[in-house]
Amino acid sequence: MHLKTLCLSLPLLMLSTAFSQAMDCTKPVGDWRNDVKSVMSIEQVDPATGRITGTYISKNGAKNPMSGWLNTSAPVEGKHNATAIHLSVNWQGEGAITAWTGYCHMVDGSPVIQTEDLITFTNADFAWSHVISNHDTLVPAKQ
């Protein structure tokens, strides 16, 4: 009798665990795919400070440490509410740093991160070309 109850309960437990670990804007831990098909893996968010740690994994498999910040506040009625997010990568050995700053919001039940990013190069052809800007959309990698 106990084995039958266990066998019937196990799928429900697994299903509830999957739903409790679903990624959303206030809990963005997991893998996010950007516009160039690289993965930005958010591994940890400190609940007290919002500090993010993770890894940027390029399409070619190269890995670089990633850090950043998450800032949430209580939703305000009548406003478009979102979670502020900042991520940055020091391209070790490449002479560049990228900073992505933007917001996460829900679109059709899925979290989406919209960012503006700045890529800063240590060496450039001209003084004005050390910094370039871009836009990225990040979605959960399992989509």
pLDDT in tens, 102-123: 999 999 999 999 999 999 999 9
Tokens matching residue 90: 């020091």
Is pLDDT at 82 greater than 60 in this prediction? Answer: yes
Q: pTM surpassing 0.75?
A: yes
**pLDDT (tens digit, 9 = 90+) per residue, 29-61?**
999 999 999 999 999 999 999 999 999 999 999
Q: What is the pLDDT of residues 13-30, one digit of tens each?
A: 333 333 335 789 999 999
- Cα distance between residue 101 and residue 88, in whole Å: 9
For residue 127, report the phi and psi dihedrals to the nearest 5 degrees: -60, -40
Q: What is the pLDDT of residues 1-10, one digit of tens each?
A: 444 443 334 3
DSSP state of 121: E
